[in-house]
């Protein structure tokens, strides 16, 4: 089915994807043992959903036994400005690049659905009434091992920071997949091109990598700001700096990014008000204004309480006495993690003002 495959790849690029390659669902035999080891060590923290359907997450062939091919797609969200610039501005928050504008789940899903409609209409003899082509699309939230499948299809390799790195797109791309009963020609897997580099391991502010290719998510700022409910371990809070949603440090330092060009999709380019939002302003948001400001953004999912908790940790780390009133306003907050973060921030700022460490 090479004619169909070539047309599919061309169509995927027209739809806005930057990479499209194919593997079989059973091409990731290494995953079960590695996922088990990750879960047994407890590296998933509160993300119980990773453990709950681990039999599917380990084995895409078990997730849907009739599937014969997995079309793996990559979509660039490469920033057009330095993503680390705001980390040194103590009065603003840093939001990770993927969340500075529209939610990729919505955009990638729409593209996948359009591509699938085209595929079904083009599939030819296998798409008969007796044997209709079947497809399922996934992006992020399903129990699918997207990174190992992406490597098996050749989108990129799992770098030492654990994410997929592409020779062309570097570390800045989302992954989506289409499972289908069609037997399409496959592509060769990608090899590891990290070599002796360890830039991502060395820059991590919380030392979250237990070894190259292995992340203890419980220490990762992305996990702490997005997934972790309740108060964060006080030992980790100072290391979070002003990162209020996600973290990009390990991605941003990857030398393979030098080949990446800014994303074609302008709805991933940073909104002006999310590039370096003032912490004092963010601390004033309430449920209604938070929802309005982050409508269509992935940030909306974490809710106002976790968001304020993160903003207050950043305020506590700012060393700025002028932010003391912003923290004081939340010391009696109804949400315990917000009140706790406000008190922690106040103690830290007052100690800073008194010249104590
Ligand atoms: C859970 C999750 C997280 C968790 C855990 C991250 C993690 N590394 O697992 C948290 C919340 C921390 C997270 C953070 C981020 N995430 Co996330 N996340 C996921 C999700 C939903 C599942 C990943 C998973 O299964 N983790 C479980 C562990 C066991 O898997 P793993 O890292 O692949 O672990 C493997 C290695 O340990 C490996 N291994 C062990 N030993 C060895 C040895 C060698 C030699 C090798 C090669 C591998 C290896 O085997 C394990 C099993 O495969 C995927 C979407 C999906 N459905 O796949 C998105 C996904 C991985 N995330 C994504 C992104 C963009 C991010 C962030 C950059 C967001 C941000 N800016 O804050 C950060 C990056 C942090 C980081 N360094 O990983 C993208 C990555 C795109 C890409 N190019 O790879 C994905 C694919 C979502 C998407 N559809 O685009 N994420
Ligand atoms: S996202 Fe940040 S905290 Fe998480 S592993 Fe990468 S550098 Fe470390
Ligand atoms: S920073 Fe270096 S070690 Fe890390 S993923 Fe990129 S090439 Fe690999």
pLDDT in tens, 295-318: 999 999 999 999 999 999 999 999
Active site residue 192: no
Q: CB–CB of 42/219 below 8 Å?
A: no
Mutate to test the pocket of ligand 3, among 84, 159, 163 (most ligand atoms within 8 A of CB): 159
Q: CB–CB of 240/225 below 8 Å?
A: yes
Q: Decide: 344 in ligand 1 pocket, CB within 6 A.
A: no
Q: Decide: 224 in ligand 1 pocket, CB within 6 A.
A: no
User: What does DSSP assign to residue 209?
Assistant: E
Digit-coded pLDDT (tens) for 32-54: 999 999 999 999 999 999 999 89
Ligand 3 center to 212 CA (angstroms) = 9
Beta bridge pairs of residue 72:
21, 177
Q: Decide: 256 in ligand 3 pocket, CB within 6 A.
A: yes
Short-list 154, 204, 150, CA closest to 177: 150
**pLDDT the model gives residue 124:** 67
Q: Decide: 161 in ligand 3 pocket, CB within 6 A.
A: yes
The yes-or-no verdict on residue 128 having pLDDT over 70 is no
The yes-or-no verdict on residue 142 having pLDDT over 60 is yes
Contacts of 23 (CB under 8 A, 6+ apart): 69, 70, 72, 149, 152, 153, 154, 186, 187, 189
């Amino acid at each position: 089915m090479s004619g169909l495959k070539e047309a599919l790849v061309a169509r995927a690029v027209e739809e806005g994807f930057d990479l499209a390659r194919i593997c079989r669902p059973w091409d990731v035999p290494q995953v079960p043992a590695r996922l088990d080891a990750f879960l047994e060590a407890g590296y998933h923290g509160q993300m119980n959903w990773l453990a709950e359907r681990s039999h599917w997450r380990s084995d895409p062939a078990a997730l849907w036994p009739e599937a014969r091919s997995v079309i793996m797609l990559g979509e660039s969200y490469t920033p057009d400005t330095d993503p680390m610039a705001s980390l040194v501005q103590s009065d603003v928050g840093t939001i990770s690049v993927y969340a500075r504008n529209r939610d990729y789940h919505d955009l990638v899903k729409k593209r996948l659905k359009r591509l699938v409609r085209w595929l079904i209409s083009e599939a030819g003899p296998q798409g008969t009434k007796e044997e209709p082509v079947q497809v399922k699309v996934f992006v992020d939230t399903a129990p699918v091992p997207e990174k190992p499948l992406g490597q098996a299809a050749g989108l990129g390799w799992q770098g030492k920071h654990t994410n997929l790195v592409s020779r062309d797109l570097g570390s800045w791309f989302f992954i989506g997949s289409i499972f289908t009963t069609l037997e399409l020609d496959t592509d060769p897997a990608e090899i590891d091109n990290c070599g002796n580099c360890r830039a991502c391991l060395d820059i991590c502010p919380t030392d979250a990598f237990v070894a190259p290719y292995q992340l203890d998510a419980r220490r990762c700022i992305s996990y702490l700001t997005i997934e972790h409910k309740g108060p964060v371990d006080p030992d980790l809070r100072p290391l979070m700096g002003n990162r209020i949603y996600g973290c990009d440090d390990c991605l941003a330092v990857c030398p393979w990014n030098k080949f990446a060009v800014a994303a074609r999709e302008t709805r991933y380019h940073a909104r002006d008000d999310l590039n370096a939002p003032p912490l004092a302003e963010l601390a004033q948001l309430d449920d209604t204004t938070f929802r309005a400001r982050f409508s269509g953004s992935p940030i909306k999912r974490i809710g106002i309480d976790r968001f304020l908790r993160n903003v207050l940790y950043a305020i506590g780390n700012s060393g700025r006495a002028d932010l003391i009133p912003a923290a004081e306003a939340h010391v009696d907050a109804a949400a315990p993690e917000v009140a706790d973060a406000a008190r922690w921030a106040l103690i830290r700022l007052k100690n800073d003002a008194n010249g104590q460490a």
